[in-house]
Chain A
Amino acid sequence: MITKFVTKLILAGIISLSFVASQAQATKISVFLQNIYAPESNPASKEAFEQLLSSYKEANPDVEVDLIPYMGGSQSDYYAWLTSRIAAGDEPDVGWSHWYDRNARSERWLPLNEYLEGPNEYIPAGQPGHDRWMDIFDEGVMAQIRHGNGNWYQLNTNWVETGLYLNEDILTSRGLPVEWDNWSEFIDTCKALRADGIQPLGVFSSVGWSTYQWLDTILISAAFQDSLEKWQLPEYSNPFMTARQLTLEEISKAVHEGEYNVNNPRFDTFLDLTEEVVTHCLVEGFTGIPDLDTVLNLFLSGETAMGWLGTWNAVAVQDGAKFNFRSTFYPPFTSDNSPYVSDPIMYRVGGPSSSGQVGLSISTVERGTVDAAIDFAKFYTAPANYQAVANSDQGMLTVINGVESPDVAKGFISISKLPERGITDAVSRFGGEEFGTPHNRMMQSFMMGDISRDELKEDYQKLLDKTVKKLCEENAWDWCSS
């Protein structure tokens, strides 16, 4: 047996040597597209990519594309996989990344500006994008994913959107409305349901990513609404978007200047709104539900009257619901809910943090794979090629001009036109989970009544200060020293 292993070792050596030799002729690039390419759980994506890769191979016989399939499991498994590879200098050339990476860890990615300004020959002459690749991407999306330094580190091919699914049978049989004009009416509906022994709204809250965060982000945006515009910095201004999310620098500066602060009365409003929605709307035990799948399960089995899920659940809801359902969104907040709301705004939650955000690793420069990787990205995003990928997508909205969204996602297009909430998810708010996780932890403890409002405030302010101090060290923004 030992000899067998020695033989294997030698064989492995020979194979790796021959690999080095063959590299001289063919450029090999590795590509990871998160669950856009998930051959096991989404066989349609397998077909789409088999087609795409073979036609790419035909056009570029000397480039070998190693498409790495989605590994399943949780996002943290992916990060364990990716982190180990970065440490070993072996991360994919073209890779998916959560969108906040563009701010917090931009040094990992290659700036794409010059390529985006250049032509994309895979798009027929005369069509948008042929002369300037940038033109095929949705303007609003491009504006939103631009880094504060003016660079683009990512391309976005799709857009994730959340949807509030309603069990119409439960609501209408009790004479309750399925549409609301304002947040108070929504809360009243919750109260009526709860009084009737029905769990109103299914969400789950977790220390890591969870759908409670979506609620958190619209509540805090409503509480601080009148301040948001004041916090915006001119260098990030964006002619395409009337309401936009605050960037990392803007929100950090608000902390630095004592605006986003626990002593600001708006923070109390945020906590009041949180308490109200927890008491009246959220499914009991929402802090003990492990994942979104369970929330879906609760909704489909009729345990909750509403479920806050994603566009990507549309297929499962369609197939699984034995009742009349509809998808909708939350009504606007008014000055009744928060004294700091000047004009009623209906926020939506969604955005570029989707499965379709890819960047080029900075290591491609060293490896000499930049050109091949860019070329593949151009081919992949060309509308004629991407359409097949979009069709196999599971309920994301496509944001490449000239490509139609998959049918199942079309119902959400109107929601995606709603104004963006001003303050983003806790995890992305300060560029990562180092803020998001403790934020969620504290809010959970507060919502369950384990810690008092004062205790929460004390810990929360410490966290804000610590986070911004660290960000200032990393980014050296000019206002930091003052």
Chain B
Amino acid sequence: MMSTKHGKSIPQQIVLLFLAIITWYPLIFMVSTSLKTQNQFYENYWWFTYPFDFENYLIVWDRISIAIFNSIHYSFGTLVVVLTLSLLGGYAFGRFKFYGKNILFLAVIMLLMIPGILTLVPLFVLTKNLGMANSSLGFIFPLAGFEIVIGIFIMRLFFERLPTELFHAAKIEGANEIQLLLFVAIPLALPGLGTVAILDLLFTWNELLWPLVLLSDQDAYPVSAAVITFRNQYRVDNGNLFAAYVSVSIPLMILFIFVVRKFIRGIEGI
């Protein structure tokens, strides 16, 4: 009764505003802490204190700038692998009917149930034996192995929703399977791939344990691991730590501002 077509929705807006404030508070906390000296932090850790201390950013910038560059590099690599494989896998499961399909799909989805920590040590040994330890390939391929599972899941749902007529029509016109994939499926799948890409990016950007275990050279650290170097076991300077957090979040936020609408639309495909 409350919300008819022309009805006002003031109470809803207030509740939404309240939810938004709570949702945004961690970000505000992150920014305000990054502008504090350690003493200011002890005085008041909830809100901004004056004067702002920008020195934290200067201190962390050397390490963080390298890490941001590394993360872009790793993210790009993972993105290529994840998108290619999610597309192929999702397409195969979503459009075709074949013997053993459900079993195979279950075998892929089963991987979601395997805790990452369980395979940490065997995976490291394997990566080392493949000569990939301390390299970006050792970062990209194992991580992609985790990310493509959900990617395939999403792309399967996406392809299942596409009308079959499109493919039939193209087939009648004489297109082969490769052409169908390249010229019919991929253009239609772009919104879905965009969604997978964003989820993948968030995952790669924030993954902590694998780079920490894989890499010994801090100049090769991605952002998540680089931030942790400011969290010394014996002494934490929260200003530095949070300045590092803010610095690594900014590139992702900028990107998000540009793609967020597309990302939201892409979800419709699921």
Q: Which A residues are closer than 8 A to B by beta carbons? A: 1-2, 5, 8-9, 12-13, 16, 30, 35, 38-42, 66, 68-75, 77, 80-81, 83-85, 87-88, 90, 292-293, 297, 300-301, 310, 312-313, 315-316, 319-320, 394-395
Per-residue A-contact encoding for B221-232, CB less than 8 Å = 1, 0 else: 000010011111
- Are B38's CB and A316's CB within 8 A? yes
Min CB distance A47 to B, Å, is 14
Contacts of A75 in B (CB 8 A): 233
Say whether, besides A8-B137, A316-B38, A35 and B124 are in contact (CB < 8 Å).
no
Is B120 positioned at the interface, with any CB of A under 8 Å from its CB?
A: yes
Which residue of chain A has the shortest Cβ distance to B129 in the bound complex? Answer: A88
A2 CA to B83 CA in the complex, in Å?
12
Contacts of B218 in A (CB 8 A): 39-40, 69, 71
Interface of B is mostly: helix
Is B234 positioned at the interface, with any CB of A under 8 Å from its CB?
A: yes
- Are A68's CB and B234's CB within 8 A? no
For window 25-65 of B, CB contacts with A under 8 Å fall at: 38-39, 42-43, 60, 63
Contacts of A5 in B (CB 8 A): 77, 80-81, 137
Min CB distance B226 to A, Å, is 8
Q: Which B residues are closer than 8 A to A by beta carbons? A: 38-39, 42-43, 60, 63, 77, 80-81, 84, 120-122, 124-125, 128-129, 131-133, 135-137, 209, 212-213, 216-218, 225, 228-237, 240
Min CB distance B58 to A, Å, is 12
Which residue of chain A has the shortest Cβ distance to B232 in the bound complex? Answer: A41
Contacts of A310 in B (CB 8 A): 234
- Are A320's CB and B39's CB within 8 A? yes
Say whether, besides A9-B137, A319-B39, A71 and B80 are in contact (CB < 8 Å).
no
- Are A293's CB and B212's CB within 8 A? no
Contacts of B125 in A (CB 8 A): 84, 87-88
Which residue of chain A has the shortest Cβ distance to B209 in the bound complex? Answer: A80
- Are A297's CB and B213's CB within 8 A? no
Min CB distance A312 to B, Å, is 4
Which residue of chain B has the shortest Cβ distance to A75 in the bound complex? Answer: B233
Interface of A is mostly: helix
Give me the 6 closest cross-chain CB pairs, A-B, nearest first: A41-B232, A84-B124, A40-B229, A72-B228, A72-B229, A88-B128
A293 CA to B77 CA in the complex, in Å?
38
7 A-B contacts, Cβ less than 8 Å apart?
Answer: A5-B137, A40-B230, A73-B231, A77-B209, A77-B228, A90-B133, A312-B235
- Are B225's CB and A71's CB within 8 A? yes
- Are B42's CB and A300's CB within 8 A? yes
Q: How many A-B residue pairs have CB under 8 A?
A: 113
- Are A41's CB and B42's CB within 8 A? no
- Are A1's CB and B80's CB within 8 A? yes
Say whether, besides A71-B228, A320-B42, A313 and B133 are in contact (CB < 8 Å).
no
Contacts of B43 in A (CB 8 A): 301
Which residue of chain A has the shortest Cβ distance to B62 in the bound complex? Answer: A40
- Are B121's CB and A301's CB within 8 A? no
A23 CA to B84 CA in the complex, in Å?
38
Min CB distance A474 to B, Å, is 21
Min CB distance B231 to A, Å, is 5
Contacts of B217 in A (CB 8 A): 68
Min CB distance A77 to B, Å, is 6
Contacts of B124 in A (CB 8 A): 84-85, 87-88
Contacts of A320 in B (CB 8 A): 38-39, 42
Contacts of B81 in A (CB 8 A): 5
- Are A41's CB and B63's CB within 8 A? no
Contacts of B209 in A (CB 8 A): 77, 80
A35 CA to B120 CA in the complex, in Å?
24
- Are A41's CB and B120's CB within 8 A? no
Which residue of chain A has the shortest Cβ distance to B219 in the bound complex? Answer: A69
Task: Specify which of A74, A83, A90, A394 is in contact with B235 (CB 8 Å cutoff).
Answer: A394
Contacts of B77 in A (CB 8 A): 5
Contacts of B80 in A (CB 8 A): 1, 5
Say whether, besides A90-B133, A313-B235, A41 and B212 are in contact (CB < 8 Å).
no
- Are B120's CB and A80's CB within 8 A? yes
- Are B128's CB and A90's CB within 8 A? yes
Min CB distance B83 to A, Å, is 9
